[in-house]
Amino acid sequence: MTQYIPFAITAAYLVAAVIIGVRAGRGHNMSTVRAWGVGDRSLNPFVTYLLIGAGAVSAYTFMGSPGWAFSRGVPVMYVVVYVSFMAFLAWYLGPKVWHFGRKYGHVTQASTITDRYESPVLGGIAAAGVSIAGLAYAVLQTIGSAYILNVMSFGLIPTWMGVILVLGVISIYLYRSGLRAIGMTNALQGVLMFVTAWLVGLWAINHYTGGFSARPIFERLQEDMPQFLTLPGALGDMNYAFWTTSILISFFSIWQAHWISWMGAASPTGLRKATTFIPLYYIMLIPMIVVGFIGIFEYPEIGNPDQVAIQMAVDNMPVLLAGLLGAGTLAASMSSSEPQIHATALTYSKDIIQPLFKLSEERTGKLTRWLIFPIMALIIAPISIAEPASLVYILLIGYGFSGQAMPTMLGIFFWPRATKWGALTGMAAGLLVTVLFSFFIVHPLGIHAGIWGLMVNIPLFVIVSLLTRPSSDRALARYFERKQVAAEA
């Protein structure tokens, strides 16, 4: 019976998440977009810190990062670098986005785009485009969650049941409490993930080396397989160009869910404080990466590298620690899928359905939280269960869109001369190039496809903007300072 203790711990996390998530909405009228969508802008700096920090790392922490360390070696560190750099965007842009929300009532990224460019069409396209990435990401995380339940139950919970169970649990507290549920459960998830990663990592190092230094592992790699210690890595696919451009394109991508998280902070000062320290949270990736390096020697024949940490847990770890890893991985995947589901429901209702059907704010508010059910039932669940091979392509297209929206963001924060036609033209051309270089001529010269897309996108964005009429003074005045031209003598 002790073999089911890890499953019991993993399942206990689900119960805890429901309790915390449901309670999070107390005292707030969740029938309004402001409350359900941005939590009434009430999240304190600690919750904001973990909402953003934990939301960014996902099941990658416990599966992808040890898997990459196992198969490639040191190239895995590019993720550590880019998630840290993404904190710069939250730190610099977050307070501005917060003000857009507070002063102009924006609740989504697409709302700001629509307002700045005076183009519901551009806003709708942005909403649809970023939702592709968000939904694909949510599907991947849901598959990860179902996998954990399957492994921890020794196969008693098949994947399809795990998908339905996880989505069902999320739907309870997400419907009830919106962004506040995500914030509070992410606070629990964030702490759990941080503690678990260190406990598992230190246990694994001690188990395989007898001490708490990872040096013996890397000394052995120096002797036997030095290709794991340097770029381009054991698979030879991470040269300097790809390291650099992969980090840059990830840095340039502002996810809708992150935008909404920024809007949920209680104050811009608190948001600034929280985001300053977000990179330090990602130290927790390091012990799990070391677990992956250990797996090179302990599980050389494993079929799926992403399973190396979980397999190590099931085979060797004390049941309590294995249970924590199960709970931590489940928490990680759920902490990343919830914001995407929430953001998609919010943007579909505010940026597509409301303008299309000219709904009132009240009706939109009531509709928004209900949308999570068809999104989960008709999109996420079936795709998670089917797990089509095309999922990775859908994800790449979605990521590509997020990256190509960067010039549009420049026009919101930095350049008043940007126009909707410049944004649309650049985005369309950039996305075309990104798709071409993602699927057909893959990453030419080792440069990420998204960067090639931006090389076409940005010049077109600038040229077409300069050739077309800017937004009205009324719209621009919301985002930029006016210049008073000195009167002539």
Partner 1 sequence: MQFRSRRPRTARHFLALAIVVATLLLGLWPVVALFNSTELFLGMPLLMTWSIVVIGLTTGAMLLVNALGVHGTDEVPAVHAGGDTQGAEAS
CA dihedral (393, 394, 399, 402) positive or negative:
positive
Q: Which of 372, 365, 434, 405 has its CA nearest to residue 138?
A: 372
> Smallest distance, Å, CB 452 to partner 1?
17
Which residue number, 280 or 386, has a Cβ lying nearer to partner 1?
A: 280
> Smallest distance, Å, CB 414 to partner 1?
5
Q: Are 246 and 78 in contact (CB under 8 A)?
A: yes
Residue 482, burial from CB neighbour count under 10 angstroms (0-12, 13-18, 19+): exposed
> Smallest distance, Å, CB 99 to partner 1?
5
144, two tokens: 């990860």
Which residue number, 121 or 280, has a Cβ lying nearer to partner 1?
A: 280
Which residue number, 265 or 383, has a Cβ lying nearer to partner 1?
A: 265
102, two tokens: 């507070």
Kindly list the residues in this chain that would bind partner 1 in the complex (CB under 8 A): 73-74, 77, 80-82, 84-85, 87-88, 91-92, 95-96, 98-100, 103, 213-215, 218-219, 222, 226, 229-231, 240-241, 243-244, 247-248, 251, 268-269, 272, 275-280, 282-283, 286, 289, 413-417, 470, 473, 476-486
Which residue number, 358 or 483, has a Cβ lying nearer to partner 1?
A: 483
Q: Which of 391, 393, 343, 401 has its CA nearest to residue 143?
A: 391
Q: Which of 105, 138, 114, 186 has its CA nearest to residue 365?
A: 105
Q: How far apart are the first and last CA of the chain?
A: 91
Q: Are 326 and 340 in contact (CB under 8 A)?
A: no
> Smallest distance, Å, CB 342 to partner 1?
25
Which residue number, 193 or 380, has a Cβ lying nearer to partner 1?
A: 193
Which residue number, 301 or 473, has a Cβ lying nearer to partner 1?
A: 473
CA–CA gap between residue 6 and residue 13 (Å, rounded): 11
> Smallest distance, Å, CB 192 to partner 1?
21
CA distances from 257 to 150, 260, 284, 341 (A): 28, 5, 22, 9
> Smallest distance, Å, CB 445 to partner 1?
13
Which residue number, 93 or 322, has a Cβ lying nearer to partner 1?
A: 93
